Amino acid sequence: MSTALEVIETARDRHRAFNARQHPNGTLLRLLSQYHRTLVGRTLMANGAHFLTEQIIPMPFDPWADGVELISPLAILRPSLTYRTGGRPGELRLIPPSTSIDPKPVWAGWVEGGRLFLAGEPSAWQAVDQITITYTQIPAPLTTLGQSLLLSPMADEAMSLHLAHLMANRGNQETDVEGPDEDRFLDDWQNAERQYLESLLLETRSEITFWREDY
């Protein structure tokens, strides 16, 4: 993974006017942090399993009624459970909060306000050893230059060109350096982002899937 500073330095390399005096690292880091989050969202739309975090919740938890906090969940992909006897895996069904489904699935829960709640009483879950939630986290904001980015290096081009585009928009006050071409950097950035998102399709190309055919 690249660091924030590496992406910022690559963006600066694109034009002589992109110096740290006109465009401080702190400013670029804040802008990169926002775009990083945006691009994570777009990445997940292309491939929902691009980056996943596992949170293992030992059972039972206490207090039961408060649920368990999931750490910055953005998109939950796969909830599962492990039985106490034999360590066999099982399926946890997520149902909508305040559902009218009745009877509920045997192992059911819901996510509300970033917390996982399990249906029923703790006594009903004695057979379950732990619950595993596989999900994508909301990326933490970038606050230091040495922080690693969540996205793969494939996204570096789009991120550095995004910063270059923003620096071009911020203007140039150096009198002996020709100003950057704003339209050019806008086009380059948009092309790089599209190419990155298209490259994500390669990740899922070999997956077996089902599709509906209309006759």
Partner 1 sequence: MATPLEIIASGMARSARFNNQQLALADELVDVVRRQVRAAFAVAARINPFYYLSEETVAFDTDHWPWPDDVEAFVRLEITATGTEVVVVPFDDRQAETVRAAVYARGAQFRSAGNPLDPTSGDLTMFYTPRPVDPATGSDPIDARFPEAYLDLFYNDIALYLAVKTGRADDIATFTTERDRWLMLYIAHLEHVLGVVEVRRKQLVRRFAANTLVSVYTGAA
Sites for partner 1 among residues 135-164 (CB under 8 A) = 143-145
**Inter-axis angle of helices 156-170 and 4-12, to 10 degrees?**
50
E strands, the chain, in order: 53-58, 68-69, 73-83, 89-91, 93-94, 108-112, 115-118, 128-137
24 lines the binding site for partner 1 (CB under 8 A) = yes
**Inter-axis angle of helices 182-201 and 156-170, to 10 degrees?**
160
Candidate residues 19, 47, 55, 132; the one interacting with partner 1 per rule CB under 8 A? 19
The residue whose two tokens read 């969202």 is 41
What counts of helices (H) and strands (E) characterise the chain? 4, 8
Candidate residues 66, 69, 112, 174; the one interacting with partner 1 per rule CB under 8 A? 174
Sites for partner 1 among residues 26-45 (CB under 8 A) = 26-27, 29
DSSP string, 155-166: GHHHHHHHHHHH
10 lines the binding site for partner 1 (CB under 8 A) = no
Among the listed ranges 45-53, 64-72, 173-181, 200-208, the one in contact with partner 1 (CB under 8 A) is: 173-181
16 lines the binding site for partner 1 (CB under 8 A) = yes
Closer to partner 1 by Cβ: residue 112 or 178: 178
Q: Closest approach of Cβ 22 to partner 1, in Å?
A: 10
Q: Closest approach of Cβ 179 to partner 1, in Å?
A: 13
28, 160 Cβ separation under 8 angstroms = no
13 lines the binding site for partner 1 (CB under 8 A) = yes
171 lines the binding site for partner 1 (CB under 8 A) = no
Helix or strand (DSSP H, E) at 27:
helix 25-46
Q: Note the residues at the interface with partner 1 (CB under 8 A).
A: 12-13, 16, 18-21, 24-27, 29, 143-145, 174, 176-177
